Amino acid sequence: MIVPDKIAPEIGWRSWFLSPVSPVLLSSMTMCFLWPYEDAVVSDAPPSQDKQKGIHAARSLHQLRDCFGYLFSPPGMLPNIIGEVSLWGEVIEGERGFRAERAFPRSLYIATELWVETAWFDIQKAEGILRRYGVPVHVVDSPDDIQAPERMAA
């Protein structure tokens, strides 16, 4: 029996696209990796096995912006979604983020100001898809409207 070191998940920040194929799901930005509605995403190996393993997340919005160079995609790129993720299982904490064995979205944000309507999604459709995850979905005007005071400053 493994005795856990903690009983509350770590909270990180991530960015996703919506996959343009059915079923429409959150898709990782850097890998073609889909996030199901009803189950945690599980890493193919524990994070301690290899530096590349684990579900990655930034510690704060500030660090997420540093990672991609923006929070929401600039015009000309596919629109993205950002949000908090719960992280658990085996976890490694870093200065700028986490690598975890399991993850699931905790809250999701779309910015109307930067949402570029595509042939696949207008913003209402995107919001409806995100609601299937069963977590709070926030449609904000701009990134400045995201309320995450204690973690944003970290």
Interacting residues toward other proteins by CB under 8 A: 2, 4-10, 30, 37-40, 46-48, 56, 58, 67, 86-100, 104, 106, 132-135
Cβ 44 to other proteins shortest distance, Å: 16
- Looking at the Cβ atoms of 108 and 115, the one nearer to other proteins is 108
Measured distance CA(98)–CA(36) in Å, rounded: 20
Measured distance CA(37)–CA(25) in Å, rounded: 7
- Looking at the Cβ atoms of 50 and 117, the one nearer to other proteins is 50
Cβ 82 to other proteins shortest distance, Å: 14
CA angle 151, 88, 126 (to 5 degrees): 65
Cβ 141 to other proteins shortest distance, Å: 26
- Looking at the Cβ atoms of 116 and 151, the one nearer to other proteins is 151
Cβ 61 to other proteins shortest distance, Å: 14
- Looking at the Cβ atoms of 62 and 96, the one nearer to other proteins is 96
Cβ 93 to other proteins shortest distance, Å: 4
Extract long-range pairs of 149-153: CB within 8 Å, 24+ residues apart. 151/11, 151/13, 151/59, 151/60, 151/61, 151/84, 152/60, 152/61, 152/62, 153/60, 153/62
Residue 58 contacts residue 70 (beta carbons within 8 Å): no
Q: Quick one: how far is CA 76 from the chain centroid?
A: 21
- Looking at the Cβ atoms of 31 and 153, the one nearer to other proteins is 31
